[in-house]
Amino acid sequence: MSYDNIFDASYKRVLETGTDGTDFFETFYQHFLDSSALISEQFLNTDMEKQRRMLKKSFYSLISFYASGAADNVLEKIAYKHSARELDIKPAFYDCWMDSLVATVHDYDPEFDNDVELAWRLVMSLGITYMKFKYDRC
C-alpha cells in the first residue's frame, strides 16, 4: 500500500475514535503544550477550544499541500501569522509540533506502526517545510 493510502486510512481511523469525549485535536494540544514550557507559555491566553477548531480546519490545507504541491490561501495566511512578523514561532518548534502529532496518532490509531508514523510525517512534511521557510520570508 502507498504511504498516501496508509495515511488516508489512519486519518479516517483517528477521527472515528475518541468516544470518551476527548477528541484527537484536544489530545494533540495536551501533548504539544506538555512538550515544552516555551511552547505552553505561548498559549497562556489562548481560547483552546477555538484553537482546536482552527487547527482542524488548517489540517485540510496541510494535507492538500501534499496532494496539490502548493499552499492554499489558508496556509499562506497561517504561515504569515506564525512568521517573525507576527507570532514569531521559531522553526525549531515545528519538530515538537510534528512529534506531538505522531504521539497523538499513536494514542488514537489502533493500527499504529512504523509505516503509519512515516506516512503522517511524509504527508505533513511539505506544509511544515513551507511554514518554516516562510518564517523570515513573509
Applying CB under 6 A, the residues found at the interface with ligand HEM are 39, 42-43, 45-46, 51, 54-55, 58, 62, 78, 81-82, 87, 89, 93-94, 97, 127-128, 131
DSSP characters over 21-50 = S--HHHHHHHHHHHH-HHHHGGGTT--HHH
Contact 96, 110 (CB under 8 A): no
In terms of CB distance, is 57 or 111 closer to ligand HEM?
A: 57
What single letter denotes the amino acid at residue 101? L
Closest separation in Å from C-beta 117 to ligand HEM: 17
* 10 versus 110: smaller Cβ distance to ligand HEM: 10
Q: Give the CB-nearest residue to ligand HEM.
A: 46
Our CB check for ligand HEM shows the closer of 51 and 68 to be: 51
Q: How far is the CB of 136 from ligand HEM (least distance, A)?
A: 15
Rounded to whole angstroms, the Cα distance separating 13 from 56 reads 15
Closest separation in Å from C-beta 122 to ligand HEM: 14
Is the CB of residue 7 less than 8 Å from the CB of residue 109?
no
**Closer Cβ to ligand HEM, 81 or 85, answer by number:** 81
Burial group, residue 120, by CB count within 10 angstroms (0-12, 13-18, 19+): buried
